[in-house]
Amino acid sequence: MKQTLAKDVMTEKVVTLTPEDTVKEAAKVLVDNHISGAPVVDSDGKLVGLISESDLIIQDVKLRFPTYIHFLDSFIFLGNQRHFEDTLRRAAAAKVGELMRKEVVTAGPDTDLEEIATLMADRHVGRIPIIDNDKVAGIITKGDIVRTLSR
C-alpha cells in the first residue's frame, strides 16, 4: 500500500500573519478564514512563529500571581515564576510577534502522514506547517488527518 505524504494532504494556500500584525488583526484573520491558527512569516516568507486561538485567548485570562513567602529579606516564589512572567508578557501583547510561539513543529513535503500524526500527538499541536526551501509550502491540521483517515 502506498504511503500518504504531507504534500498529498496539505493545504497549499496557507493564510499567514506577520510579526507586525496586531493581535486584533490576527483574531479577525482567523475568524474570517474559519481557521484556528496560522503560521507567522517574515518579509521573506520564512517561518518565524505560529499563533493559534489558544494564544489569543490568553489575553482574556485572569492572571494568577505566584505565591511567595518572605524569608530573611528575600522572596521565595512557590510555583513557576517563569511561567507567570511568560503569561504576563503574552497577556499584554499588542503585536503578533509578541504573542506568537517561536518554537514551531514543522515537517517537509515528503514526510509520511503517520509521522506527522505522531508529531501532533507527541507535541500536543493541532497544526504543522510544511516547509520547503525555507518557505511555508503548506499546512496540515488534525482535521486534515481525520479526513484522510475517513477515505
Q: Is residue 87 part of a domain?
A: yes
Average pLDDT over residues 102-125: 94
Q: What does the block give as the cell for 59?
A: 489575553
Q: Is residue 1 part of a domain?
A: no
pTM of the model: 0.75
**Run of H or E including 134:** none
User: Does residue 69 carry a pLDDT above 80?
Assistant: no
Dist CA 59 CA 91 (whole Å): 4
- How many domains, in total, are found in the chain? 1
Average pLDDT, the chain: 83
Residue with cell 505524504: 5
Q: What does the block give as the cell for 20?
A: 507586525
Q: Which one is predicted more confidently, 86 or 66?
A: 86
Domain that holds residue 83: 6-150
CATH code of 67's domain: 3.10.580.10
User: Does residue 28 carry a pLDDT above 80?
Assistant: yes
Q: Is residue 142 part of a domain?
A: yes
Average pLDDT over residues 5-24: 93
Q: Which one is predicted more confidently, 89 or 133?
A: 133
